[in-house]
Structure 1
Amino acid sequence: MPGPEADSVEERTADGGSRSSIAAYAQLVRVPNLFTAPPDVILGAALLSAAGLEPRPASVAGLAVASVLLYAGGTTLNDAFDAPVDARERPERPVPSGRVSRDSAFTIGFGLLLLGIVGAFVATGGPGAVVAGLIAAAIVAYDGALKGTSAGFLAMGTTRGLNVVLGTTAAGFVVLELALATVVVPAAVVVYIAAVTSMAARETEGGNRGAVGVAIGGVVAALVVLAWYLASVRPTPFGTVAAVAFAGAFVRWVGRPLRSAYADPVPGTVGPAVGACVLGLVLLDAAFAAAAGPGWAVAAGVFLAPAVVLSRAFDVT
């Protein structure tokens, strides 16, 4: 019969296994990245506000939760589809390491996508559910057949652009009913994320300076659209200051790692550049949202703090 000491060992083992399992699932969903999804939705709602429409706070909150579920489903399916490749290139990930089974990852991933669509429907009804469904379709297309192709990079960018569009359903309108400027902003997010995804696809390679250059081009394109949008909307002086401040923070945040990656394009520099660009989207969202007022910018930008804290414990890429 095991004595008290053996019982203690068993308890510690069970507790350690539980913590290991939680960590595996947190890694699977890229828990730091989840905090980059709500700022997209907040930006979409801010675009409504800047256009003179009134987004409902409860709807914005519900859509933000739905966006997190969709993002978590996307990252989970990413690892499920990539398991054979990750077994060679990233064996430490939860699925190839055996901490999460591939079947479980598929089940959880598709389940999270479904919950995201349902959550969007609860928040705004049909418009939200339709956009969430389009996001889910783009996610599956990227994670499945399109990954590694030019169409795949665009599909990934489209998921984030549609995430901004999801926020525009907070007032019961779809993006086609809004002004041109409100359509162009999500497009800028599409281009930026597509460019970053192109760089990420070659993260494990060496000598991929061209891919880093594409990501830099995505940053420049986003800033050009930001300048155009601010000139079109003509925000208040406080809104302009907030937009410039967040844009400057965005450039500083992504500029240094991108410069290092371009100078020496190896996995050790490209990986951090990808991570910085993913988290940097929060600052870009905040800069655009500032056109509706500093409060919108802060509401989006505050999500960077938990993302950065969690990125110290969990990988972003």
Structure 2
Amino acid sequence: MENDRGPTLGAFAELVRAPNLFTAPPDVILGAALVTITGADPVPSTVAGLATASVCLYAGGTTLNDAFDAPIDARERPERPIPSGRVSRRGAFGFGFALLFAAVGIAFAVAGGPAAVAAGLVAVAIVVYDGLLKGTAAGFLAMGTTRGLNVVLGTTAAGGVILESPIQLLAVPAVITGYIAAVTAMAARETEGSNRGAVAVATAGAIAAVLAVGWFLASVDPATLETIVAIMFAAAFCWWVERPLRATYADPVPGTIGPAVGACVLGLVLLDATFAAAVGVRWGLAAGVFFVPAVGLARIFDVT
């Protein structure tokens, strides 16, 4: 039953997974960094606008996730905003879809049609995952696709769609897609436990992402400083996800799977920063700085 006082700011912060919101802009920053390989020079204000759109997309996605999952959460996670009555299910659906539409509008306002199309594709992938494919193999890929397309959204900061793109502009979003798909496969078993296979899939996704970093460094041949900063971010990513994944594989129960999923989600910021730093240190730092508020808020709000 909904709280008579109505939803609070804290309830909405839980609904949108406040820490996770800071993992969305680094995707866009990475996309903008990648497009500089073609000689483009994205305008910072445009990148910031697209980052804002990506935050709205993420917030809308998590809100709709809980709205669709309300009956399941009533049994498995009764403390969440909707089953606890702090936010109505109807209100969550309205808020979630409003955020998706706002994201497309913001993208169009700051970067035109190509950006709106990219944001629209992210929104469609979100709804398909939340409402139709969640828990299936296709659903894991759909969730990963939302992140890969979020990187693509960042490439539109250059003012249009680049048709003759180097392979890095396609391969890096694919790596992000694969990594998040693998993490989503583990997250789907969060409340079950006793599934080392899902943990192994997420671990393989992380290892594959790190190997892809090696390929990327060899491919773009960055300067010494860029190489050092990229390797430092890659090492931070490995350190951040290795311990929770190892602990979860040793004892795959809900109490270890949840933190591992959360660590891998927040670790995406470091992975984005790794690829971005290989293109330019300023891009890497611009992406990596979001890790600080994400981790800080994760001490207050749940990530998963």
Does residue 298 of structure 1 match 2:262? no
Q: How has the CA–CA distance of structure 1 residues 192 and 175 changed in structure 2, closer, same or farther, with 3 Å as cutoff?
A: farther
Encode CA deviations 1:56-80: one digit per residue, 9 max, x unaligned.
1111010000000000000000000
Does residue 76 of structure 1 match 2:36? no
Partner of 1:6: none
Aligned letter for 2:283?
A: W
Aligned letter for 2:170?
A: V
Partner of 1:30: 17
CA distance in 1, matches of 2:43, 2:187: 36
Encode CA deviations 1:201-253: one digit per residue, 9 max, x unaligned.
00011211100000001001111211111111011100000110000000000
Indicate which of 205, 221, 224 corresponds to 1:234.
221
| Deviation of the 1:177 alpha carbon | 3.2
Residue 252 of structure 2 aligns to a residue whose secondary structure is coil
Structure 1 residues without counterparts, runs of 5 or longer: 1-13
Query: How well do the aligned residues superpose, as a CA RMSD in angstroms?
Result: 1.2
Indicate which of 29, 41, 50 corresponds to 1:42.
29
Aligned letter for 1:171?
A: A
Residue 177 of structure 1 aligns to a residue whose secondary structure is coil
Indicate which of 125, 150, 155 corresponds to 2:112.
125
CA distance in 1, matches of 2:166, 2:114: 17
Which structure has the greater CA radius of gyration? 1
Aligned letter for 1:127?
A: P
Higher mean alpha-carbon deviation, 46-55 vs 209-218, is at 46-55
| Deviation of the 1:50 alpha carbon | 2.9
| Deviation of the 1:176 alpha carbon | 4.2
Encode CA deviations 1:96-154: one digit per residue, 9 max, x unaligned.
11100000000000000000000100110000000000000000000001000001000
Encode CA deviations 1:165-215: one digit per residue, 9 max, x unaligned.
000000023254311111100000000000000000000112111000000
Does residue 162 of structure 1 match 2:149? yes
Structure 2 residues without counterparts, runs of 5 or longer: none
Partner of 2:96: 109
Residue 80 of structure 1 aligns to a residue whose secondary structure is helix
CA distance in 2, matches of 1:255, 1:24: 31
Aligned letter for 2:87?
A: V
Encode CA deviations 1:17-66: one digit per residue, 9 max, x unaligned.
68x71110100000110000000000000101233211111110100000
Aligned letter for 2:123?
A: A
CA distance in 2, matches of 1:126, 1:31: 29
Aligned letter for 1:38?
A: P
Partner of 2:124: 137
| Deviation of the 1:81 alpha carbon | 0.2
CA distance in 1, matches of 2:152, 2:162: 6
Contact 1:50 1:291 survives alignment (8 Å):
no
Residue 189 of structure 2 aligns to a residue whose secondary structure is coil
CA distance in 2, matches of 1:217, 1:254: 12
Does residue 273 of structure 1 match 2:260? yes
CA distance in 2, matches of 1:192, 1:138: 16
Partner of 2:39: 52
Contact 1:176 1:183 survives alignment (8 Å):
no
Quote the sequence identity (%): 68
Partner of 1:180: 167
Count of aligned positions: 301
Does residue 191 of structure 1 match 2:165? no
Aligned letter for 2:168?
A: A
Q: How has the CA–CA distance of structure 1 residues 132 and 93 changed in structure 2, closer, same or farther, with 3 Å as cutoff?
A: same
Residue 87 of structure 2 aligns to a residue whose secondary structure is coil
Encode CA deviations 1:263-298: one digit per residue, 9 max, x unaligned.
110011110000000000000000000111111111
CA distance in 2, matches of 1:270, 1:131: 32
Contact 1:175 1:183 survives alignment (8 Å):
no
Spell out structure 1 runs of 4+ moving beyond 2 A: 173-177
TM-score (ref. length: structure 2) = 0.97
TM-score (ref. length: structure 1) = 0.93
Residue 202 of structure 1 aligns to a residue whose secondary structure is coil
Partner of 1:11: none
